[in-house]
Amino acid sequence: EETTKQQEPVTPDPKETEAAETTQPAEEAKTEAAQEPAPQPEPDPLAEAQAALEKEHDNYLRLAAEYDNYRKRSQKEKDNMFRDGKASAIEKMLPVYDNLSRALEQETTDAAYKKGVEMTMTELVKIFTGLGVEIFGEAGEHFDPSLHNAVMHIEDESLGKNVVAQVFQSGYRRGDRILRHAMVQQAN
């Protein structure tokens, strides 16, 4: 008997099978719904094209602005180089001007020699004027430390306070740039 009981097929309870069948389709429906993506709207080709156009237009404007900045920076560098080159050339000619000034101050009996030095000095001054160089530093001027280099000091009541008493070497400027400060003696 015991062996026959073990061999008898087990028949499932109809209530259990119904419950299992009803829950199974609901679970399958949930997993199927999770597996299927929700339908997405198709992208609008016009909107995509407009977005791409806006991006390219923005890139174009940035490139144009970058090029404009480069052009301005290059022009400014070129102008500065030219200005600095002029200033450097003028600075190298200043000792020539100083030597011609000293030569004119010396007494000579040769009138032709003196006339030649005067003509050379006149031409050099014309060149400096043409290049925009201003010569400054004369006795009686007000002493300005940004223009004058005081190498000596003198107490003289006949001169005012902070006055240039004597000039040892003239000063030169081109525009707002000082090429060489005037070497002077300051009074009081």
pLDDT tens series, the chain, 188 aa? 455 545 555 555 555 555 555 555 555 555 555 566 666 777 788 989 999 999 999 999 999 999 999 999 999 999 999 889 999 999 999 999 999 999 999 998 899 999 999 999 999 999 999 999 999 988 888 899 899 998 988 888 788 788 898 899 999 999 889 999 999 999 87
CB contact at 8 A, 173 and 179: yes
Q: What does the block give as tokens for 49?
A: 């094209």
What pLDDT, on the 0 to 100 scale, is given for residue 157?
A: 78
- Classify strands 182-187 and 163-169 as parallel, antiparallel or unpaired: antiparallel
What pLDDT, on the 0 to 100 scale, is given for residue 155?
A: 86
Q: How far apart are CA 172 and CA 135, in angstroms?
A: 5
Diameter of the chain by CA atoms? 163
Q: What does the block give as tokens for 132?
A: 């925009």
Three-state SS for 128? helix
Is the full-model pTM beyond 0.75? no
What pLDDT, on the 0 to 100 scale, is given for residue 35?
A: 63
- How many C-beta atoms surround the C-beta of residue 16 within 10 A? 9
What pLDDT, on the 0 to 100 scale, is given for residue 7?
A: 55
What pLDDT, on the 0 to 100 scale, is given for residue 153?
A: 87
What pLDDT, on the 0 to 100 scale, is given for residue 44?
A: 87
Three-state SS for 41? coil
**What kind and span of H or E run contains 57?**
helix 45-105
Q: How far apart are CA 24 and CA 151, in angstroms?
A: 109
Burial zone of 37 (CB within 10 Å; 0-12 exposed, 13-18 middle, 19+ buried) = exposed
CA 60, distance to chain mean position in Å, is 23
What pLDDT, on the 0 to 100 scale, is given for residue 156?
A: 80
Q: How far apart are CA 158 and CA 119, in angstroms?
A: 36
What pLDDT, on the 0 to 100 scale, is given for residue 72?
A: 96
What pLDDT, on the 0 to 100 scale, is given for residue 31?
A: 56
